Structure 1
Amino acid sequence: MSLHPTLQPYADAWTHSIDAISELVSPLVEGEWNRRTPCPGWSVRDVVSHVIGLECEMLGDPRPIHTLPRDLYHVTNEQQRYMEMQVDVRRHHTAPEMTSELEYTVIRRNRQLRNESREPGTMIRGLYGRETALEDLMRNRAFDVWVHEQDLRTALGRPGNLDSPGAHITRDMLLSALPKVVAKDAGAPRSSAIVFDVHGPIEFLRTIRVDINGRGTLESSPALGPAASFALDWETYYRLACGRVTPEAVADRVKTEGDPGLTAAILRHFAVTP
């Protein structure tokens, strides 16, 4: 047996992004590994350490036994502490150590994917020790490595792949979170519609309709007379949704219409990644 057809797009997207990450960091000199990325609190080395660490967990490797420093300002909850463990344990690794571990981890993961024959719904141990469906885990890894590829591209001044396979998976995952952002978190009025018009390498027009019970649903049809509307480019959309920029920092790239209080509330709750 081979990889289930449902899982193949996630494997392909992951491969595309992980290969891009390897290509980006392999020529870096020592000082470039310390460049700041848009991911809060993390350098280039930290982002690559995170990617390596989570891929090792996908392989079933034991998590490191390590005590985190107490002065990490960006670590404020247990979920962040979990993620930081794989990062902090590698903070003093040299450039050759980082690239060699990344290369070896990618080789092992590629072998694992080639031999993967389980059904998409198979429950396996995922992050935080939780039982997770294999399909969900593979989708999340494709999403995660694409976003971190973009973190590295921003830090290194090497833009690209904004329309790659991982970008399309990221779009779908971020859109799936949008009804909650609009209806529950931002408290959009009942029986209203909010429109998002996104242009650039990936283009889409989506409407969030809030029903009489306050529940939001995602639709591809436009809405007449929406309570609010947003027009922005794809790069700004994903960076806002992934917490890489604040609404204030990209105010000139987001055009809003409608109730100012509602548009401000939606932007305030727009970031959906941990």
Structure 2
Amino acid sequence: MASPKHADAWRHTFGASLQLAHQFSPADWDRGTDCPAWTVRDIVAHLIGAELWTMGDRPEYELPDLEHVRKDFDRWTEVHVVQRREVPTADLLAEFQEVYDRRSAHLDTLDGAADTPTPWGFAAPVDQAVSTRVLDCWVHEQDLRRAVGRPGNLDSPAARVVRATLLHALPRLVAREAGAEPGQVVRFEVTGQLPFDTDIAVDADGLGVARAATGRASAVLNTSWETFVRLCCGRVPANRAPVTYTGNVDLGLRVARALVVTP
């Protein structure tokens, strides 16, 4: 089976979105979200379709040309949405519940040491794949919450899995994507529900190294946990995000622009 931590985190966040969906008003379903091309309804459809795909339900469907669909992964995500765009809300909710029940049971049947297909065209260890689903589901749970004005679960079990994933990506993002130079240190001071203070130092080989926040930093980014997540998930551009920069502001802004982990 997938690790209990990841399986339980998935159940918590997917179940929270399901519970939230039962509270949506008719107007809520059509509200826009931080995913520019998707409404609340579309995110629910994506959550349903993505989990069905992980369980092997992959119906053939000819997706029409859409302006915002440019990559194979975009097509993968969009198919589930377009297929369900005309489905009545009551039927969508019923499918949402059915998928939660099926996937929850399915997680207990998985071989944690085995590999499983991913939408990117390669196989990955089961636990890594489930962790990725936790990330996607929790980020979309937050998309839904912001869209309908019902904040919550920023410190949930799934949020903690997401924090670990984002922190793991920081050395690469700072050194490779933002181009911080050897000897430079970028400090993240993140406040709120899941706070952390972390330095990413760039070594002589140009590789990013995470360490406890100590000593002087070349640039410091101070922001909330929610804003940090939105930056890392492409939900808010760096020039509009409430981030305070000290030290080398140009480096700090470059790092903020590079903080994109999700596709």
Q: Do the structures match in fold with TM over 0.5? A: yes
TM-fit CA distance, 1:34? 1.3
TM-fit CA distance, 1:68? 2.4
* CA distance in structure 1 between the aligned counterparts of 2:169 and 2:204, rounded to whole angstroms: 20
Equivalent in the alignment of 2:62: 67
Deviation track 1:90-133 (CA, whole Å, cap 9, x = no partner) reads: 111111111011111111112212333x2x33112222442111
Equivalent in the alignment of 2:213: 222
Equivalent in the alignment of 2:247: 258
1:64 corresponds to which letter in structure 2? P
* CA distance in structure 2 between the aligned counterparts of 1:259 and 1:182, rounded to whole angstroms: 14
Equivalent in the alignment of 1:18: 14
* CA distance in structure 1 between the aligned counterparts of 2:64 and 2:56, rounded to whole angstroms: 26
More displaced 10-residue stretch of structure 1: 105-114 or 26-35: 26-35
* CA distance in structure 1 between the aligned counterparts of 2:128 and 2:213, rounded to whole angstroms: 29
* CA distance in structure 2 between the aligned counterparts of 1:247 and 1:148, rounded to whole angstroms: 20
- Alpha-carbon contact 1:33-1:44 (below 8 Å) kept: yes
1:228 corresponds to which letter in structure 2? A
CA-based RMSD of the aligned residues comes to 1.4
1:182-221 superposed matches below 5 A: 182-219=174-211, 221=212
2:21 corresponds to which letter in structure 1? V
Q: 1:164 aligns with which of 147, 150, 156?
A: 156
Deviation track 1:190-242 (CA, whole Å, cap 9, x = no partner) reads: 122111010101111111010011000122x1232211111111000001110
TM-fit CA distance, 1:258? 1.6
Equivalent in the alignment of 1:147: 139
Equivalent in the alignment of 1:93: 87
Equivalent in the alignment of 1:9: 5
* CA distance in structure 1 between the aligned counterparts of 2:28 and 2:168, rounded to whole angstroms: 35
Corresponding position: 1:272 with 2:257: no
1:154 corresponds to which letter in structure 2? R
* CA distance in structure 2 between the aligned counterparts of 1:76 and 1:31, rounded to whole angstroms: 30
* CA distance in structure 1 between the aligned counterparts of 2:254 and 2:143, rounded to whole angstroms: 26
Corresponding position: 1:247 with 2:243: no
Equivalent in the alignment of 1:237: 228
What is the number of equivalent residue pairs in this alignment? 263
TM-fit CA distance, 1:31? 3.3
Q: 1:38 aligns with which of 25, 34, 42?
A: 34
Structure 1 unpaired stretches of 5+: none
Equivalent in the alignment of 1:80: 74
Corresponding position: 1:121 with 2:113: yes
* CA distance in structure 2 between the aligned counterparts of 1:269 and 1:78, rounded to whole angstroms: 22
**Aligned partner of residue 43 in structure 2, secondary structure:** helix
1:121 corresponds to which letter in structure 2? A
**Aligned partner of residue 223 in structure 2, secondary structure:** strand
Q: 1:134 aligns with which of 118, 126, 134?
A: 126
- Could you state the TM-score of these two structures normalised by the residue count of structure 2? 0.95
- What is the identity percentage for the equivalent residue pairs of Structure 1 and Structure 2? 37
**Aligned partner of residue 73 in structure 1, secondary structure:** coil
Structure 2 unpaired stretches of 5+: none
- Could you state the TM-score of these two structures normalised by the residue count of structure 1? 0.92
Corresponding position: 1:103 with 2:97: yes
* CA distance in structure 1 between the aligned counterparts of 2:27 and 2:186, rounded to whole angstroms: 45
1:77 corresponds to which letter in structure 2? K
* CA distance in structure 2 between the aligned counterparts of 1:130 and 1:211, rounded to whole angstroms: 31
**Aligned partner of residue 103 in structure 1, secondary structure:** helix
* CA distance in structure 1 between the aligned counterparts of 2:145 and 2:181, rounded to whole angstroms: 39
